[in-house]
């Protein structure tokens, strides 16, 4: 009970001391509020644009199979590890350099790259105006601030473009399609060459299959066998070419189906990311929060003033 009474006495004594200096504390709060209002009013209004997307699973991109014309059925949403990779890439220096070059950010932020310490100043300015985070439900969110609302929207849109290109590089869809088309053209060229060669042998040396040949063809072949010394050699070559052409036709059909499946995939899924929020110029400013700045300044002044009063009182009584 004595300890409780002592604590209660100390609290009352402290409040009494603070009450004695109340007008000084109020004056300090008024001054702090006025200063914070002035400086916050000098801060330019900044607008925020947000881009949000669901990245695909890295595993689903790595198992894209188009053999025998199998069409890919879609992309699974990324798991937590894939989202961490996505956020890490978008926060990388590579992406920051891409954004810097695309929007000439040194000049936009008013930083001279030739001056000492400009890199650190730029880094702080960039990180202060861009925030990349994992929102929820596998959604990656990109927030961009700028005094120019359209500029902020353009930056957020650029991040969507960079994310799409990143997953395209991982999936190698474009590379795979170009390689499949090139291979298909090579098969067509090889098939045309073999067809022309076989047609030349048939027209020049009258070489045909003896199997199921009619009487007229058999007579022609018999005459060619007698008159042409290299008939048997050319006949074997022609037969080999026909077998090779059959193989090429099978390869052509398989590759044609694969190319069609890859093209269909590009049409069905033009983007590998699912955009859930498209950036747009904001109609309202997002920061600075002037009222919050003023309130925090006044609260900090009250705490500091109370602490100062207690210190001064103890110093005088020492």
| pLDDT tens profile 102-126 | 999 999 999 998 888 899 999 999 9
Q: Using one digit for the tens of pLDDT, what is the confidence trace for 254-297?
A: 888 888 888 888 888 888 888 999 999 988 888 877 788 888 88
Mean pLDDT throughout 231-254? 76
Longest dimension (CA), the chain: 136
Where residue 140 falls among pLDDT bands split at 50, 70, 90? very high
If one compares 250 and 241, the residue with the highest pLDDT of the two is 250
For 132, the token pair is 């990349």
Question: Nearest CA to 156 among 187, 186, 130, 184?
Answer: 130
For 258, the token pair is 């694969």
> Taking the chain, what is the end-to-end CA distance rounded to the nearest angstrom?
28
Where residue 52 falls among pLDDT bands split at 50, 70, 90? very high
Nearby residues of 185 by Cβ (< 8 Å), 6 or more positions away = none
| Helix axes 22-42 and 290-317, enclosed angle (nearest 10) | 150
- Mean per-residue pLDDT of the chain: 80
Torsion angle defined by CA atoms of residues 297, 299, 302 and 306, in that order, rounded to the nearest 10 degrees = -120
Is residue 10 scored above 70 in pLDDT? no
Is residue 212 scored above 50 in pLDDT? no
Would you state the pLDDT for residue 64? Answer: 65
C-alpha span between 258 and 66 (Å, rounded): 6
């Amino acid at each position: 009970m004595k300890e409780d009474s002592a604590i209660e006495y100390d609290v009352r004594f402290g409040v009494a001391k603070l009450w004695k200096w109340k007008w000084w504390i109020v004056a300090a709060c008024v001054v702090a509020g006025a200063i914070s209002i002035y400086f916050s009013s000098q801060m330019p209004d900044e607008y925020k644009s947000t881009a949000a997307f669901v990245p695909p699973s890295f595993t689903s991109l790595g198992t894209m199979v188009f053999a025998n014309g199998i069409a890919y059925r879609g992309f699974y949403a990324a798991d937590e590890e894939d989202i961490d990779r996505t956020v890490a890439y978008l926060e990388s220096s590579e992406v920051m350099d891409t954004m810097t070059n695309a929007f000439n950010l040194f000049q936009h932020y008013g930083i001279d790259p030739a001056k000492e310490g400009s890199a650190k100043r730029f880094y702080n300015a960039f990180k202060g105006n861009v925030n990349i985070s994992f929102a929820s439900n596998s959604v990656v969110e990109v927030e961009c601030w700028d005094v120019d609302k359209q500029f902020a929207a353009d930056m957020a849109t650029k991040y969507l473009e960079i994310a799409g290109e990143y997953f395209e590089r991982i999936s190698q869809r474009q590379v795979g399609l170009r390689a499949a088309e090139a291979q298909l053209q090579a098969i067509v060229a090889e098939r045309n060459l073999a067809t022309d060669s076989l047609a030349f042998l048939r027209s020049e040396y009258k070489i045909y299959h003896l199997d199921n040949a009619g009487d007229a063809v058999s007579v022609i072949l018999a005459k060619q066998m007698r008159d042409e010394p290299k008939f048997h050699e050319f006949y074997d070559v022609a037969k080999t070419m026909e077998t090779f052409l059959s193989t090429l036709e099978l390869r052509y059909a398989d590759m044609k189906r694969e190319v069609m499946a890859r093209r269909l995939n590009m049409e069905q899924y033009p983007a590998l990311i699912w955009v859930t929020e498209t950036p747009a110029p904001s109609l309202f400013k997002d920061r600075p929060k002037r009222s919050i700045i003023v309130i925090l300044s006044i609260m900090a002044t009250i705490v500091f003033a109370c602490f100062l009063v207690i210190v001064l009182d103890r110093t005088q009584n020492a």
